[in-house]
Amino acid sequence: MSDSAFHYVDGVLHAEGVSAASLAQQFGTPLYVYSRDALTRTYRAYADACAGRRAVVHVAVKANSNLAVLNVFARMGAGFDIVSSGELARVLAAGGKAENTVFSGVGKSAAEMREALEAGVKCFNVESIPELHALNEVAKSLGKRAPVSLRVNPDVDAKTHPYISTGLKSNKFGVAFSDARATYREAHAMPNLDVVGIDCHIGSQITEISPYLDALDKLLDLVEQIESDGMSIRHVDVGGGLGITYDDETPPDIGDFVRALLAHIEKRGHGQREVYFEPGRSLVGNAGVLLTRVEYLKPGEEKSFAIVDAAMNDLARPAMYEAFHRIVPVVKRDAPAHTYDVVGPVCESGDWLGRDRDLAVEPGDLLAICSAGAYGFVMSSNYNTRPRAAEVMVDGERARLVRQREDVRQLFAGESILPD
Ligand SMILES: *Cc1c(COP(=O)(O)O)cnc(C)c1O
């Protein structure tokens, strides 16, 4: 396994000190299992590399918004990066602080802006001129000034999957680099906005440092221009996006990544500025697995299928991005492996979790779908009226249920039939 929180003991997969087989027995499947130790170690890797610098780690809530996961980070003093007022409510419920939260996202509604201003978020990462106007109006109606940073699109190629690349001219995110200076002047002229920073977020599952350095160079050039226009930029937010090992990727080590960016900022003469990070996947991705049970084996001439009780509604990434997740047995069998497509019960050909996997399995066996901590449960749905999975957090020898498995009746509790 790529993360030592999940490892085998006598042929049985464990999460820290707890057997995954016993977790499945106790809580049922499909089951998301997170490791507190793994969450702690990735966060510490960021925080330790920031030590001695005015740098803040903001956990990207959308990658995994379970309250227990957010609380583990909040206890360590993390900031948060949210993309909706729903995520703000989660941060507050998990013990996070609004004044350490930045609000990102391309389509914030006036109601969301109001909630966030009233709660006192640290900064709005604004993505367009109309959004600046809207925020200025909302702030005015509350008699407040909203702290803003513009998300600038540096037009660099993050060399990642097109659906998760966000820093190119051709996608919907951010203010175009060529318009940014003028947009800052407009923001500065709005009486209820307070220009405080600049930000970018160039994509996700990025496995090289160079796209970040390219983006930083463009951002820092811009900061110099903006300051010569009479504004002061207190913080530079480099976004998230650092990749993890799903298969054979070799992303930079978290500490090396942070140190390289901070050193670059220093070298460019901007060492006095506060630096914000917004990691999601690299904090939580390898801190979680999805446990599932094999229902049926279906041999075929062209393909053989292992039909499991988890599906695309539980883990959407394979269906959505053709993403690869390692799939391993929970209890190793001493038997020859066969090649299977691991698929769920949902009525879609796109409902697969892994293709052409060599597995020695029998019906009833448990499998672990690895690296499922990021964009896993949060993207799950009730398609096919499937209740969403339970979530468990392991901490040493203990396991706690941190989200109950949904009940079918809950799924249609808000629905009603016509009276006549
Ligand atoms: C999604 C997102 C992140 C986190 O991205 P990861 O690839 O999970 O690190 C950070 N900032 C913004 C603005 C985002 O939209």
pLDDT per residue of the chain (420 residues) written in tens, 0 to 9: 444 899 999 999 999 999 999 999 999 999 999 999 999 999 999 999 999 999 999 999 999 999 999 999 999 999 999 999 999 999 999 999 999 999 999 999 999 999 999 999 999 999 999 999 999 999 999 999 999 999 999 988 776 666 556 666 667 789 999 999 999 999 999 999 999 999 999 999 999 999 999 999 999 999 999 999 999 999 999 999 999 999 999 999 999 999 999 999 999 999 999 999 999 999 999 999 999 999 999 999 999 999 999 999 999 999 999 999 999 999 999 999 999 999 999 999 899 999 999 999 999 999 999 999 999 999 999 999 999 999 999 999 999 999 999 999 999 999 999 999
Which residue from 43, 204, 261, 375 has its CB within 8 A of the most atoms of ligand 1, so it is best to mutate?
A: 204
**Ligand 1 centroid distance, CA of 240 (Å):** 5
Which residue from 56, 171, 236, 278 has its CB within 8 A of the most atoms of ligand 1, so it is best to mutate?
A: 278
Confirm or reject: Cβ of 279 under 6 Å from ligand 1.
Answer: yes
The residues assigned a catalytic role are 347
Confirm or reject: Cβ of 240 under 6 Å from ligand 1.
Answer: yes
Helix (H) or strand (E) holding 72: helix 67-75
Confirm or reject: Cβ of 373 under 6 Å from ligand 1.
Answer: no
Closest CA to 102 of 89, 83, 77, 115: 83
Confirm or reject: Cβ of 149 under 6 Å from ligand 1.
Answer: no
* Residue labelled with tokens 């203010």: 175
Strands (E), 17-162: 18-19, 31-35, 55-60, 79-82, 101-103, 123-126, 146-153
Confirm or reject: Cβ of 60 under 6 Å from ligand 1.
Answer: yes
pTM of the model: 0.96
CB neighbour burial string for 146-179, b if at least 16 within 10 angstroms, e if fewer = bbbbbbbbbbbebebeeebbbbbeeeebbbebeb
**Ligand 1 centroid distance, CA of 280 (Å):** 6
Which residue from 46, 62, 69, 151 has its CB within 8 A of the most atoms of ligand 1, so it is best to mutate?
A: 62
Could you give the domains of the chain? Answer: 6-35+285-411 (2.40.37.10), 105-277 (3.20.20.10)
